[in-house]
Amino acid sequence: MPEVHSPAGERAEHAAVFHTWAKAISDADLDSYLTCFSEDTVVEDLALDTTTRGLEAVKEGAARWFAAFRDTSLDLTCHLEGDGHAAVSWTYTGVVADAHPGVFDRSAVGRRFTKHGISLFRFDDENRFAWERSYWDLGELQRSVSGED
């Protein structure tokens, strides 16, 4: 596959969006989070086996996620671009605040967690996410809460 490099200016614009995205997740700032996505975005979460289509559905899913956690931090550890896509690796930490279907029940409330992952993106012409696919390990997250890691 031929390697395609993003122009430096475009990469810098993408990096700014990634930092807005990470800060919005860290702060549970739904409005800022949504500015990163296009109206017809598609978000795939492989760990939870979900595909979310459209900004309104992303808003609903993010609101549920933000309500389930507190004292969170999403730290970006790497940013790669090529072939029309961009990727970031990240570490997400925080405290369980409420149950989240498929992730935790109420018995996990108050416990700290850590998860590591990689998210792939395709940007639209306005440097918003048109597509996101996140890879992370649900078992790692659940083990970190139970103290098994």
Mean pLDDT of the chain: 92
Element (H, E) at 88: strand 85-96
Considering the domain delimited by 8-146, tell me its CATH architecture.
Answer: Roll (3.10)
Choose between 147 and 87: higher pLDDT: 87
What does the pLDDT average to over 39-43?
A: 98
pLDDT score of 9: 81
What does the pLDDT average to over 26-30?
A: 98
Residue burial 32-60, b: 16+ Cβ < 10 Å; e: rest: ebbebbbeebbbbbebbeeebeebeebbe
